Amino acid sequence: MFSLTSAAAQQIRQTAQDSGAQDLALRIAARLGADGAIECGMGFDEPTDEDLKLDIEGVAIVIAEEHQMLLDDTVLDYVELEPGEFHFIFGEAELVAAPTQSPTAPKTSGCSTGGCSGCASKAQA
């Protein structure tokens, strides 16, 4: 099941309000890249009847059927990667939930972690 952290939910709600997208859902998408990595993306959109519809911490999320399997056990987070530099990242649930990571564990960076990479969404939602 796809999920998001409280920090991500708060930033998404703020971004929706700032951009006038309060009445839209956040569409999450994923695809398998040429190198085998899962690439994730997101943006505000109108839901369709075929979408999986979630409401997580007051954020309406929609995922098209063809993306659901790739996003299973994925968490969307909003983190400070460098001082003053915040980004949305997609990660595997067990990595995002872990309070610390070992030096050999996959690291969270930019918009990538383990499962999803390359969303380039930053704070735009």
Which residues of the chain register pLDDT less than 50? 98-125
- What pLDDT, in 10s, does the model give residues 79-112? 998 999 999 999 987 655 544 443 333 333 334 3
The pLDDT, as a whole number, for residue 84 is: 92
- β-partners of residue 76 are 4, 90
CATH class of 3-117: mainly beta
122 contacts: CB under 8 Å, gap ≥ 6: 86, 87, 88, 111
The residue ranges of every structural domain in the chain are 3-117
Of the candidates 113, 108, 114, 43, the residue with the CA atom closest to the CA atom of residue 80: 108
State the residue for tokens 């075929």.
50
Strand 38-45 with 116-117, pairing: parallel
